[in-house]
């Protein structure tokens, strides 16, 4: 018989399972039952549209059989089963879901004392935590041939033909011998197994059955004398171990946080508990129940095309779709969960389903519910809300700018921004509530990080007035403000804008005078930097710094950087740059003097000032070594 090798990744995972010192080995049962339930789901769904299946919902079940003598534990289902190819592909290769994350965490946690196994849905392989030999006997629905897959771990596995009279799968585990500190025999004890099923798999929608050994008092014989001692006898009885009521079908107050979190982790393959869970029980135009979750960390592929949004859709406990994308608006694509409505017809084809009126109503209501729960979190627990923001803030911002701003009013209140004000992070309405007497605008400045923005020369005069500044650190931030245009009637204003602060007539006159006085020097600066800047001007913004770069027109420097990034090398949209000079600075005075005495020297000064403005704006220098030479040339 040919022995086949596991794929490298699977082998590693297996080694880990076999040698695991993990204390929560009991989760193997949950994992196998969950697989069995998925397999039954698949056939149950098929039976709705395909009469050939010849089974009704009540025929489906999962069995647990414990054989103490032979030390075997068997989990059986009459679900869809696996063909030879399925056995090969599904059990010989590391499981798809969660495996990538698992491996990543594994690499990171290699030396750390972290229990990661239990945090992941590691599925089938977990059987090896408690058994030396795993035998899978499976017959795929629609096939007459069954196959036996067998493995005792790392050496590999074999697949042979065998007999099985019904479609479905038996997983037979040869339970390990007890070791010091490890009581494996408990997994052969029916009472222990029953309590594990209750703990982890109570909501599984198909009956999980097991023969329980029970005892009862023997009937008192008619001729029993005075000194009759009651006798006991044991008998066997099949019991359904789970209540089968899905978590989302229960009342809110009947779901504990532990149950809810455990369900989330198991169902959605997350290792972290969700940030919040949102149970919904709706009656009205459409009746439905839903259990939604906001994850506390973004899935590793969340910001890629690979991530699929959607909620699981059920009709009266029967799954119709694993991921119904239409149930979630794009801006809330991070939400996970299930929706169950008796009003949805199971016989509608999946495509048609996407257009039903009921679904639209559910989607709209869920969107409102998600928003209101997030607002509640923001109001009651800002620390937790920040965790949400860290994971999914970018998605909310994309939501604002996407669809030509169609969703901006829904999302506006959810936005957070870094700020120069108290608390370091703020909502827009909090900002407005803190605005000073006489402050007309909501100020913002963009840059790489908050520290750098805080040091921007042009921000100084705004801060000097005691006005708060929003720090825009992400590319999308400026677009967000552009789309929003205002908050509670207050316009957004860049600290770069010349009219950022109101000017008195005297101030205006003063500026004009200054510009006039320095007309020649400014013309000279502009000439030296002909194709680099649109204009050189006397700055209204600078207080202690000599120079800065600002822009004119709708494209800012940050936007230019963004367009460069997304547009590749092409000559994209460029900002119109303005070099602003502080006439009170020593540097400007030196430039002015040089302009009068030595034009070559003045040219060098202009270049230095220009390059410094680039540096402050975090723009690349065109020729760093030439710049360095110029600066060093001053050190004589």
The residue ranges that bind ligand ADP (CB under 6 A) are 35-36, 39, 77, 79-82, 90-91, 95-97, 121, 123-125, 169
**Nearest distance in Å: CB 13, ligand ADP:** 9
Q: Toward ligand ADP, which CB reaches closer, 91 or 370?
A: 91
**Nearest distance in Å: CB 130, ligand ADP:** 15
Q: Toward ligand ADP, which CB reaches closer, 30 or 333?
A: 30
Q: Toward ligand ADP, which CB reaches closer, 79 or 399?
A: 79
* Neighbour order of strands in the sheet with 535-538: 535-538, 576-581, 547-552
Q: How many Å apart are CA 191 and CA 210, to the nearest integer?
A: 10
**Nearest distance in Å: CB 392, ligand ADP:** 24
Q: Toward ligand ADP, which CB reaches closer, 40 or 559?
A: 40
**Nearest distance in Å: CB 90, ligand ADP:** 3
**Nearest distance in Å: CB 338, ligand ADP:** 17
Q: Pull the structure tokens for residue 428.
A: 């827009």
- Tell me the HSE value of 77 on the side-chain side, using a 13 A CA sphere: 27
**Nearest distance in Å: CB 292, ligand ADP:** 22
**Nearest distance in Å: CB 138, ligand ADP:** 6
Asked if 581 and 539 count as a contact pair (C-beta separation under 8 A), the reply is yes
CA angle 113, 173, 182 (to 5 degrees): 40
What DSSP line would sit under 261-300, residue for residue?
HHHHHHHHT-SSPPSEEEEEEE-SSS-EEEEEEE-SS--T
**Nearest distance in Å: CB 98, ligand ADP:** 6
Q: Toward ligand ADP, which CB reaches closer, 121 or 279?
A: 121
Q: Toward ligand ADP, which CB reaches closer, 228 or 307?
A: 307
**Nearest distance in Å: CB 94, ligand ADP:** 8
**Nearest distance in Å: CB 95, ligand ADP:** 3
Q: Toward ligand ADP, which CB reaches closer, 338 or 614?
A: 338
Beta bridge pairs of residue 149: 136, 159
Q: How many Å apart are CA 328 and CA 164, to the nearest integer?
A: 43
Q: Pull the structure tokens for residue 218.
A: 């023997």
**Nearest distance in Å: CB 82, ligand ADP:** 5
Residue 231: CB atoms within 10 A of its CB come to: 11
Q: Toward ligand ADP, which CB reaches closer, 89 or 108?
A: 89
Output 438-441 pairs: Cβ under 8 A, ≥24 positions apart. 439/465, 439/467, 440/490, 440/491, 440/493, 440/502, 441/490, 441/491, 441/492, 441/493, 441/500
CA angle 520, 521, 524 (to 5 degrees): 90
Beta bridge pairs of residue 233: 216
Q: Toward ligand ADP, which CB reaches closer, 101 or 169?
A: 169
Q: Toward ligand ADP, which CB reaches closer, 196 or 445?
A: 196
Q: How many Å apart are CA 373 and CA 365, to the nearest integer?
A: 12
Asked if 202 and 248 count as a contact pair (C-beta separation under 8 A), the reply is no
3-state secondary structure of 368: helix
Q: How many Å apart are CA 531 and CA 522, to the nearest integer?
A: 15
**Nearest distance in Å: CB 80, ligand ADP:** 6
Residue 299: CB atoms within 10 A of its CB come to: 18
Q: Toward ligand ADP, which CB reaches closer, 24 or 369?
A: 24
The closest residue (CB) to ligand ADP is 123
Which residue from 228, 19, 241 is spatially nearest to 132, judged by alpha carbons? Answer: 19
HEC assignment per residue over 50-90: CHHHCCCHHHCCEEEEEECCCCEEEEEECCCCCCHHHHHHH
Indicate the pairing of strand 62-67 with strand 157-162: unpaired
**Nearest distance in Å: CB 321, ligand ADP:** 17
Which residue from 370, 373, 340, 334 is spatially nearest to 358, judged by alpha carbons? Answer: 340
Q: Toward ligand ADP, which CB reaches closer, 196 or 344?
A: 196
Q: Toward ligand ADP, which CB reaches closer, 81 or 329?
A: 81
- For residue 485, the 8-state DSSP code is -
- Alpha-carbon distances of 231 from 215, 216, 217, 218, 234, rounded to whole Å: 10, 9, 6, 5, 10
């Amino acid at each position: 018989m040919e022995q086949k090798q596991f794929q490298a990744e699977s082998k590693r995972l297996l080694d880990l399972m076999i040698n695991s010192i993990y204390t929560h080995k009991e989760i193997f049962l949950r994992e196998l039952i969950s697989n069995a339930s998925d397999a039954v789901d698949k056939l149950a769904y098929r039976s709705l549209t395909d009469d050939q299946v010849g089974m009704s919902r009540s025929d489906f079940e999962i069995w647990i059989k414990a054989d103490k003598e032979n030390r075997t534990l068997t989990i059986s289902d009459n679900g869809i089963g696996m063909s030879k190819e399925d056995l090969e592909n599904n059990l010989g290769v590391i499981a798809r879901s969660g495996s990538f994350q698992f491996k990543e965490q594994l690499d990171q946690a290699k030396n750390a004392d972290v229990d990661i196994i239990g945090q992941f849905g590691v599925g089938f392989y977990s059987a090896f935590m408690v058994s030396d030999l795993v035998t899978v006997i499976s017959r795929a629905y629609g096939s007459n041939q069954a196959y036996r897959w067998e493995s005792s771990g790392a050496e590999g596995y074999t697949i042979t033909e065998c007999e099985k009279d019904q479609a479905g799968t038996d997983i037979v585990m040869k339970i390990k011998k007890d070791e010091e500190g490890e009581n494996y025999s408990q997994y052969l004890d029916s009472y222990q197994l029953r309590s594990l099923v209750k703990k982890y798999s109570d909501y599984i929608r198909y009956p999980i059955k097991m023969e329980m050994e029970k005892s009862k008092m023997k009937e008192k014989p008619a001729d029993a004398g005075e000194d009759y001692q009651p006798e006991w006898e044991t008998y066997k009885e099949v019991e359904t171990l789970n209540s089968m009521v899905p978590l989302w079908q229960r009342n809110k107050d009947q779901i504990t946080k532990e149950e809810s979190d455990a369900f989330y982790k198991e169902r959605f393959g997350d290792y972290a508990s969700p940030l919040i869970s949102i149970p919904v029980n709706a009656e009205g135009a459409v009746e439905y129940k839903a259990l939604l979750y906001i994850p506390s960390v973004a899935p590793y592929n969340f910001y890629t095309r690979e991530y699929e949004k959607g909620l699981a859709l059920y009709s009266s406990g029967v799954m119709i779709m694993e991921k119904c994308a239409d149930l979630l608006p794009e801006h809330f694509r991070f939400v996970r969960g299930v929706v169950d409505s008796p009003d949805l017809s199971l016989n509608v084809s999946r495509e048609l389903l996407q257009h039903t009126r009921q679904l639209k109503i559910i989607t709209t209501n869920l969107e409102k519910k998600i928003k209101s729960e997030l607002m509640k979190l923001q109001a009651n627990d800002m620390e937790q809300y920040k965790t949400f923001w860290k994971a999914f803030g970018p998605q909310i911002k994309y939501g604002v700018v996407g669809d030509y701003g169609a969703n901006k009013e829904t999302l506006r209140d959810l936005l957070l921004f870094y700020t120069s004000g108290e608390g370091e992070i703020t909502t827009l309405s909090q900002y407005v509530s803190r605005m000073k007497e006489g402050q007309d605008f909501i100020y913002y400045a963009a840059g790489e990080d908050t520290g750098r923005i805080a040091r921007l020369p042009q921000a100084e005069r705004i801060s000097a007035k005691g006005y708060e500044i929003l720090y825009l650190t992400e590319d999308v931030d400026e677009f967000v403000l552009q789309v929003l245009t205002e908050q509670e009637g207050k316009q957004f204003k860049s600290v770069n804008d010349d009219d950022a602060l109101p000017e008195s007539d005297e101030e205006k006159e003063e500026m004009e005078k200054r510009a006039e006085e320095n007309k020649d020097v400014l013309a000279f600066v502009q000439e030296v930097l002909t194709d680099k800047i649109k204009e050189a001007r006397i700055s209204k913004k600078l207080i202690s710094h000599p120079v800065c770069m600002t822009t004119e027109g709708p494209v800012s420097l940050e936007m230019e950087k963004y367009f460069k990034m997304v547009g590749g090398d092409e000559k994209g949209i460029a900002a119109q740059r303005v070099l602003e000079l502080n006439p009170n600075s020593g540097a400007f005075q030196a430039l002015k003097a040089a302009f009068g005495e030595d034009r070559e020297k003045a040219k060098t000064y202009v270049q230095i000032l220009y390059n410094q403005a680039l540096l402050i704006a975090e723009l690349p220098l065109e020729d760093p070594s030439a710049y360095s030479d110029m600066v060093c040339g001053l050190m004589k």
